Amino acid sequence: MTRIIADISVSLDGFVTGPDPGPHSGLGAGGMALHTWVFSDDPDDRRILREATARSGAVVLGRRLFDVVDGPKGWDDSIGYGAGEVGKPAFVVVTSSPPKSVRLTGLDWTFVTTGLSDAVTTARKRAEAASSDSGKNLDVVLMGGGASIGSALEAGLVDVLTLHLAPVVLGSGTPLFTGTAPRTLVQRSVISTSTATHLTYDVL
């Protein structure tokens, strides 16, 4: 069964970027500290990254995040979604208008202009097709940004919430939760490393 998994790194005070994020500084001031675990040599950090990317049949992201990762200082062969870990899943971008061009032409991009719910539906179909082709159960991963994940939780689209809680206080930035309707979460796992506390919840 294909699940919808929201997966994002967050500070102790609830921010998914530092102050002033933008195309040339996607994570804002101090925001790189949120992702120290991604580059860690800790065996648990490496396993969590490997397992998360290996289960990805399709990935959903918002337009602002797309502009960062496809920008001149964005992803490359060494830095990107699960770089060096897995093959390349389909990427589905929620946007009001598709870009005129894409820098990362080696990735499979689909641009959905009819809203987040339709983007998730598109991604689910891509993940189910990938599951059938591979013979493995693959999921849809919502990688962000924070507004997209918050909206998905608000709309009841998320089955699993995975937070990588970084030991940093950013003070300001992009908050993960902004007036989200109450949700009941069931804690499934907690794994602590030197760089993060990895938390997984089922969303009811």
pTM to 2 decimals?
0.92
Q: Identify which of 145, 190, 140 has the alpha carbon closest to the alpha carbon of residue 165.
A: 190
- Looking at domain 4-203, its CATH superfamily turns out to be Dihydrofolate Reductase, subunit A (3.40.430.10)
Q: What is the pLDDT of residue 163?
A: 98
Q: What is the pLDDT of residue 178?
A: 82
Q: What is the pLDDT of residue 183?
A: 82
Q: Are 50 and 203 in contact (CB under 8 A)?
A: no
Both structure tokens of 28: 């804002």
Q: What is the pLDDT of residue 171?
A: 95
**Domain spans of the chain?**
4-203
Q: Identify which of 61, 55, 60, 116 has the alpha carbon closest to the alpha carbon of residue 82.
A: 55
- pLDDT tens figures, 131-162: 999 999 999 999 988 989 999 999 999 999 99
**For a pLDDT cut of 90, what percent of the chain falls above it?**
75
> In 65-157, which ranges are E strands?
90-94, 108-112, 139-144
Q: What is the pLDDT of residue 78?
A: 75
CA separation for the pair 125, 133 (Å, rounded): 12
Q: What is the average per-residue pLDDT within 165-193? A: 91
Both structure tokens of 126: 């891509």
CA separation for the pair 91, 26 (Å, rounded): 18
Band (pLDDT 50/70/90 cuts) for residue 82 is: low
What is the CA 136 to chain-centroid distance, rounded? 21
